[in-house]
Amino acid sequence: MRILHHHPLHALSRVARVMLAEKAIPFESVIEKPWERRDAFMRLTPAGDVPVLVEEDGVVVAGGLALIEYLEEAYPDTPLLPREVARRAEVRRIADWFLFKFEREVTENLVGEKLIKRLSGQGHPFAPAIRAGLANIHYHLDYIAFLSERRPWLAGPTFSLADIAAAASLSCLDYIDNVPWDKNPEAKDWYARIKSRPSFRAILADNITGCPPPRHYADLDF
Amino acid sequence: MRILHHHPLHALSRVARVMLAEKAIPFESVIEKPWERRDAFMRLTPAGDVPVLVEEDGVVVAGGLALIEYLEEAYPDTPLLPREVARRAEVRRIADWFLFKFEREVTENLVGEKLIKRLSGQGHPFAPAIRAGLANIHYHLDYIAFLSERRPWLAGPTFSLADIAAAASLSCLDYIDNVPWDKNPEAKDWYARIKSRPSFRAILADNITGCPPPRHYADLDF
């Protein structure tokens, strides 16, 4: 069986899980705490980052973005990128936005400071970073609202990697109850549609020992 | 004429320039200082990041990784990724390494602290970050040496996006004379091969007003 090494509160890991589920590709889940730098894991990837996929034939795919593109190329049924080149670029532009810009401006400041530091035992939450993350999340939600008012899905007429990247990122924040859904009904409507997809079920079932999610996290009618 | 908005000391911008040159795609170069958040530029890309390509038909491609994949898909002659899916993943894994891991561990700490802060007038160099960058660069050079001892090019038998990403990143560091080439002859040999490629000429001709590169920067026999 192919194996996905991932961490439940890591956005790129969640993207890989949702892509595999959308494409109906079975996999065994191994939760990896990258900060432990486990020997067997480091042998798979010298970078030491999740996610890493190990295929049944032994092929190892490491590097989050490399894995996204690999999944799309190796399993082209149920495509998550459109066919036309300029539209593919628009999907990837929005995916980049969430996986890098949102990650840096919001996720690292909130999930990183509040939760990953606690789980890894590396340092204490840094209050100015948390304030920055709480301030920054609003304009990202506004951007989701802006896009979803103009298009059925974030990058165009079809559900795509852009929606998966944005939802995977936001779901990590929602796990620690840091998404002000009530202030942004358009973004909430879009996220409600993602939550109801079968591919998101495993994400909504995540429950980290000692750090349970808030009650609304898994609720489809939040 | 298509236009590339870029910054000369930004690794992803350099990747786009080298890819365009490898593929012999003519473009007009517009140097953008992203920290100025110029109105006309922000209208092209709400993220405000370089590089951005504007095609002759008006298509705008923003998001550095989106642009890399776009260039490969829109201009498939002179491919910079191999054909086979697992080998493409290996190229992208190494490109990810340099464009994200190296960027964060080395480039931001050195080019960011020493040069970008000065050019943008935003803050003063932070000595601990500079020390971290100078310490970190060694193991990245060791990784280049490790790979190039085993393979003709970083990701396998052919020159690829992996080499472009690594060389574009290192060239920004070399511009500020922070690459200890003498301590790593294998990495130096690999970089010498990249420097001699015609696609790298424009990179080696970069000269930022008030911040000239060291003499060896453009020298093919450095």
Token couple for A103: 């990650």
Q: Which of A73, A88, A94 sits opposite B85 (nearest CB)?
A: A73
Query: What is the chain A residue with the closest CA to B62?
Result: A93
In this complex, do B88 and A69 lie within 8 Å of one another by their Cβ atoms?
Answer: yes
Does any domain span residue B145? Answer: yes
Mean pLDDT of B102-112: 97
Does any domain span residue A122? Answer: yes
Tell me what pLDDT residue B89 has.
98
Number of helical H runs and strand E runs in chain B = 9, 4
Tell me what pLDDT residue B199 has.
98
Query: What is the chain B residue with the closest CA to A52?
Result: B93
Within 8 A by CB and 6+ apart from A23, the residues are A71, A75, A77, A78, A80
Confidence of residue B144 (pLDDT cuts 50, 70, 90): very high
A19, A71 Cβ separation under 8 angstroms: yes
Percent of all residues in chain A with a pLDDT value above 90, rounded to a whole number: 99
Express each pLDDT in A67-89 by its tens digit. Answer: 999 999 999 999 999 999 999 99
Report the distance separating Cα A52 and Cα A7, nearest Å. 10
Token couple for A56: 């049944």
Which of B92, B101, B105 is most worth mutating to test chain A (most A CB atoms within 10 A of its CB)?
Answer: B92
In this complex, do A89 and B95 lie within 8 Å of one another by their Cβ atoms?
Answer: no
Please provide the average confidence, as pLDDT, over all residues in chain A. 97
Does any domain span residue A100? Answer: yes
Q: What does residue B184 show for φ and ψ, rounded to 5 degrees?
A: -145, 75
Burial category of B58 from C-beta neighbours within 10 Å (exposed 0-12, middle 13-18, buried 19 and up): exposed
Report the distance separating Cα B52 and Cα A42, nearest Å. 35
ipTM: 0.95
Domains held by chain B: number: 1
Within 8 A by CB and 6+ apart from A220, the residues are A192, A195, A196
Sign for the pseudo-dihedral over CA of B64, B68, B73, B75: positive
Does any domain span residue B64? Answer: no
Tell me what pLDDT residue A41 has.
97
Task: For residue B29, give the 3-state DSSP assignment.
Answer: strand
B192, B42 Cβ separation under 8 angstroms: no
Mean pLDDT of A153-179: 98
Q: What does residue B185 show for φ and ψ, rounded to 5 degrees?
A: -60, -30
Does any domain span residue A76? Answer: no
Mean pLDDT of A91-102: 97
Express each pLDDT in B58-99 by its tens digit. Answer: 999 999 999 999 999 999 999 999 999 999 999 999 999 999
Does any domain span residue A117? Answer: yes
In this complex, do A59 and B86 lie within 8 Å of one another by their Cβ atoms?
Answer: yes
Percent of all residues in chain A with a pLDDT value above 70, rounded to a whole number: 100
- CA dist A44 → A5, A37, B70 (Å): 10, 11, 29
Residue whose C-alpha is closest to residue A145's, from A189, A186, A195:
A186
Does any domain span residue A180? Answer: yes
Q: Alpha-carbon Rg of chain A, whole angstroms?
A: 17
Task: For residue B45, give the 3-state DSSP assignment.
Answer: coil
DSSP B156: B
Query: What is the chain B residue with the closest CA to A96?
Result: B63
Q: Whole domain around residue A118: which residue ranges?
A: 85-197
CATH of the domain at A152: 1.20.1050.10
* Angle, vertex CA B107, rays to CA B101 and CA B113, nearest 5: 135
Confidence of residue B20 (pLDDT cuts 50, 70, 90): very high
B35, B93 Cβ separation under 8 angstroms: no
Report the distance separating Cα B195 and Cα B203, nearest Å. 9
**Max CA distance (Å), chain A:** 48
Q: Which of A63, A96, A97 sits opposite B97 (nearest CB)?
A: A63
Tell me what pLDDT residue B80 has.
98
Question: Which uninterrupted H or E stretch holds B66?
Answer: helix B64-74
Report the distance separating Cα B35 and Cα A10, nearest Å. 29
Report the distance separating Cα B148 and Cα B16, nearest Å. 23
In this complex, do A65 and B65 lie within 8 Å of one another by their Cβ atoms?
Answer: yes
Please provide the average confidence, as pLDDT, over all residues in chain B. 97
Residues of chain A found within 8 Å of residue B145, distances taken between Cβ atoms: none
Express each pLDDT in B182-193 by its tens digit. Answer: 999 999 999 999
Residues of chain B found within 8 Å of residue A95, distances taken between Cβ atoms: 63, 66
Express each pLDDT in A105-150 by its tens digit. Answer: 999 999 999 999 999 999 999 999 999 999 999 999 999 999 999 9
Does any domain span residue B132? Answer: yes
Query: What is the chain A residue with the closest CA to B104?
Result: A104
Tell me what pLDDT residue B125 has.
96
